[in-house]
Amino acid sequence: MDAMAPEEYASQSKLLQEFTNVPSIDSASILKTNDEDRSRAMFSISQPDLLANTNRKYVLYSHITTRAGTGTTSPDFQWSPFPTETTGVSATVPSPSGSKLLVVRNGERGCPTKLEIVCQSHVEKEIHVAGSVHGPLYTDEWFHGVSWNQEETLVAYVAEAPATPRPAFNRSGYTREEGCSEGDCSAWKGQGVWEEDWGETYSKKGRPSLFVLDIPRGEVVAAKGVPTSLSVGQVVWAPESPGGRHKYLVFVGWSERNGFFQNTARKLGIKYCSNRPCALYAAPCPIQGPEPPGNPPATTDGKSGSGGAVARNLTPGFSSALFPRFSRDGRLLVFLSSKQAVDSGAHNATDSLHVINWPSDWKMDEQLDVTQVVPVVMCPEDDDGGCFPGLYCSSVLPDPWLSDGRTVILTSSWRSAEVILSVDVLSGKVARITPEDSCYSWRALALDGTNVLAVSSSPIDPPSISYGRRLAVTPAEGEARRWTWDEVTSPFMASNSKVKSLLLHHSVSILKIPVPSPSADLSDGGKLPLEAIFVSCSCKGSSRSPTVVVLHGGPHSVSVSSYSKSSAFLASLGFNLLVVNYRGTPGYGEEALQSLPGKVGSQDVEDCLAALDFAVEEELVDASRVAVVGISHGGFLTTHLIGQAPDRFAVAAARNPVCNLSLMAGTTDIPDWCYVVACGTQAKRYASEAPSPGHLRLFYQRSPIAHVSKVKAPLLMLLGGADLRVPASNGLQYARSLIERGGDVKIMMFPEDIHEINLPRSDFESFLNIGVWFKKHLNAVA
């Protein structure tokens, strides 16, 4: 604790606790009923538990009543009186009919994984899966996949493959592994051969593999025909062939050799990286139905008597295919492609949407045609944000189809907002269906027939439930006018009331900032205005309040106008917030995004300074009282700004920042990132585990450490000791360099945290210390 301000720590920690207590609405499912006017919603919510250093998870139910087909009456939500805590539960997945629930309890420290089939009154079946079959199920946002078949007799899912056998030793030397357990004091297991992993957050996990649970038999069977060179995720069931003779699984497969350095394959980190090559595959279910009498046994490739099962690549012409989703009638299969990211090397880029017409009698030897539905948008048709900028989807709902069978609902970034889109898969028409005249961001949670259950928020308004209804309008009025949104009275309103009162006098606006001195060789998209989200206190004199410049990481990620606990906390302390979406941010078209690789440390720095200059010229902020904070690439920009513009910033905080690309290239799980951001998208062919002297020199020149001698601002450095993306050595080297030069530096290390520093206690302490640090140094220049 800083000895200067124990009272400040006490008051700010009490205030931060109010923001920490606000629950997060993570996901929702709609459960069918026999009444078309009624449905049930199951919400998954979470809340930090600081004492246990975990997130509490709850389930909250609501009955929804509408007047089906009219679209004229607001829905009625009847909530359960209390949420139910789901201690020890890793995932809950309702069956298609809503009559059953799969409850997953992942085993820890060698304990079996438990799979429970729950009906409306009791646990119908409980299956314990030994570690020799598979490890914990994947429940992350990338490899996660749990899918019921329509008959609700089988569940396909992705789990960790069994651990590779390791040698065992005792006092006599080598012994059989079977005779040695982790708790055996008379023997130990050796380390075995090192295996590459998927990097950040996945370093201790087994290979993502495909399994099927046979519920009636209580058995788990591994999928056949899937090469061990593939990591599997996002599995769904294909429609059954007539008579149920063939059952197929469709899934995403990532090659375990996804990066090539000097023609040598290796495994690169996948977290936050949509540029890893992948494809859609189909494989036969290992549990097939009985053969009709008189028919010869069919083999897994769809041919009689040919033998052998090999997963079929359904998208051989695509370097990327993600989130496969079948329409409810089984005729259409849509998927997203991040081909633009894979081909360019940018770690995120503009997506495209594609569809496959799925034959009812499809067989494994049949190649299917793929049709593009929504192409990559290179440059929006206008510069005021009104035209569709392209698809930027971090996930897709498990069932994104409206009941018309041709419209999918997607959540996507649209400049500085997150919006909900409808896409007509047959015509390719895209419409923004959430309101355009607000600073709110929206996220679809689930579909209820022709309606959408969503969550909306703004930087000063905590998340609330909204219900979108599709109205009957003429075609000339357009799809966007068909939608009306009702704010739902929910229990979340009570938990949000204290935070709303703390931010009652704040306002939000989106600033459009002209590109500073655009060069002639810039693309049209690269010349479009960038944006910044400005949060200020609407009371008199707010322009004299200190301002915090907030910078996102990536660089190809985005700050959207949604509620953020940390930003709301900083605003409640009396700071204005200037949240900059510099060029390279998704949501503005592909040309704007691709304008940054090869120019980091210059173009992005200029954009941040241009945003600050704009806010000063508009008399929104006091130029003498400015702080800056960022994580990852945002930390890269933070440390660049205090070095390149040392007189513009009174104080700074950096969370796991990139400070020296030449050091990071040899220690990160994504060394290709260093080449792309520093050298441009053509750098993939130069990438090497042993960078040339020229590349090392360029990496250094583009890094904040090249400007460390000019830094004047006090710096708070926050580091995760288990970060594999930007190892702590990067921030430590920079901080020690500042200390060596007499700089005012405070270092905080969180030993168990990864890149995000998101363990509840660590997150709490991070922003508490940022608040105190900023108050101390900004008050000093008041």
Arithmetic mean of pLDDT, 742-748 = 97
Percent of the chain clearing pLDDT 70 (strictly above) = 92
Q: How far is CA 70 from CA 18, 66, 73, 247, in A?
A: 41, 9, 7, 39
Q: Say which amino acid occupies 409.
A: I
Instruction: Tally helices (H) and strands (E) across the chain.
Output: 12, 41
What is the pLDDT at residue 480?
65
pLDDT in tens, 147-176: 999 999 999 999 999 988 888 888 888 876
- Cα gap 635→715, rounded to integer Å: 11
- Cα gap 564→587, rounded to integer Å: 19
What tokens were used for 171?
């006092």
What is the pLDDT at residue 263?
75
From 123, 139, 128, 112, select the one nearest 44 (Cα to Cα): 139
- Cα gap 91→42, rounded to integer Å: 13
- Cα gap 178→168, rounded to integer Å: 9
- Asked if 422 and 408 touch (Cβ cutoff 8 Å), the reply is yes
Q: How far is CA 314 from CA 122, 142, 317, 322, 760, in A?
A: 40, 20, 9, 12, 41
Q: Please determine, for residue 184, whether its predicted confidence score (pLDDT) is greater than 80.
A: no
Arithmetic mean of pLDDT, 171-193 = 74
What is the pLDDT at residue 307?
38
DSSP 19: H
pLDDT in tens, 699-724: 999 999 999 999 999 999 999 999 99
pLDDT level of residue 181 (50, 70, 90 thresholds):
low
From 251, 358, 244, select the one nearest 311 (Cα to Cα): 251
Q: Please determine, for residue 306, whether its predicted confidence score (pLDDT) is greater than 70.
A: no
- Measured at the CA of 662, the angle between CA 660 and CA 666, to 5 degrees, comes to 115
pLDDT level of residue 495 (50, 70, 90 thresholds):
confident
- Collapsing DSSP to helix, strand or coil, 100 comes out as coil
Arithmetic mean of pLDDT, 425-433 = 96
pLDDT in tens, 398-420: 999 999 999 999 999 999 999 99
What is the pLDDT at residue 298?
35
What tokens were used for 626?
């400015």
Q: Please determine, for residue 427, whether its predicted confidence score (pLDDT) is greater than 50.
A: yes
pLDDT level of residue 588 (50, 70, 90 thresholds):
very high
- Cα gap 111→435, rounded to integer Å: 49
pLDDT level of residue 183 (50, 70, 90 thresholds):
low
Arithmetic mean of pLDDT, 737-759 = 97
What is the pLDDT at residue 180?
60
Percent of the chain clearing pLDDT 90 (strictly above) = 77
pLDDT in tens, 311-362: 999 999 999 999 999 999 999 999 999 999 999 999 999 999 999 999 988 9
- Cα gap 177→168, rounded to integer Å: 5
- Measured at the CA of 327, the angle between CA 429 and CA 312, to 5 degrees, comes to 105
pLDDT level of residue 515 (50, 70, 90 thresholds):
very high
pLDDT level of residue 649 (50, 70, 90 thresholds):
very high
Residue, of 361 and 552, whose pLDDT is higher: 552
What is the pLDDT at residue 437?
82
What tokens were used for 196?
């590459």
Domain 515-662+704-780 in CATH 3.40.50.1820: yes
**Which residues fall within 8 angstroms of residue 460, CB to CB, at 6 or more apart?**
503, 506, 507, 508, 535, 563, 568, 571
pLDDT in tens, 265-302: 888 999 999 999 999 999 999 987 654 444 333 333 33
DSSP 304: B
What is the pLDDT at residue 258?
75
Bridge partners of 189, per DSSP, are: 168
Residue positions annotated with a catalytic role: 632, 723, 755
Arithmetic mean of pLDDT, 548-568 = 97
Count the Cβ atoms, other than its own, within 10 Å of residue 739: 13
From 577, 528, 277, select the one nearest 415 (Cα to Cα): 528
DSSP 391: B
The residue length of the chain stands at 782
What is the pLDDT at residue 1?
56
Bridge partners of 60, per DSSP, are: 43
Residue 673 φ then ψ, to 5°? -60, -40
* DSSP string for 637-671: HHHHHHHHSTTT-SEEEEES----HHHHTTTSS-H
Bridge partners of 27, per DSSP, are: 44
Q: What is the mean pLDDT of the chain?
A: 91
What is the pLDDT at residue 214?
97
What is the pLDDT at residue 292?
41
**N-to-C CA span, the chain:** 23
Arithmetic mean of pLDDT, 468-480 = 75
What is the pLDDT at residue 300?
32
Query: Which position has the token pair 């979406």?
Result: 581
pLDDT in tens, 383-396: 676 899 999 999 99
For 258-385, where are the E strands, in sequence order? 259-261, 264-266, 278-284, 312-313, 322-326, 332-337, 352-357, 370-374
- Sorted by where each begins, the domain ranges of the chain are 515-662+704-780
pLDDT level of residue 782 (50, 70, 90 thresholds):
low
What is the pLDDT at residue 490?
92
What is the pLDDT at residue 73?
75
What is the pLDDT at residue 477?
66
Q: Please determine, for residue 2, whether its predicted confidence score (pLDDT) is greater than 80.
A: no
- Cα gap 578→567, rounded to integer Å: 10
Q: What is the CA radius of gyration of the chain?
A: 27
Arithmetic mean of pLDDT, 452-477 = 88
- Cα gap 1→109, rounded to integer Å: 35
pLDDT in tens, 12-66: 999 999 999 999 999 999 998 888 889 999 999 999 999 999 999 999 999 999 8
Q: Cα 513 to chain center, whole Å? A: 27
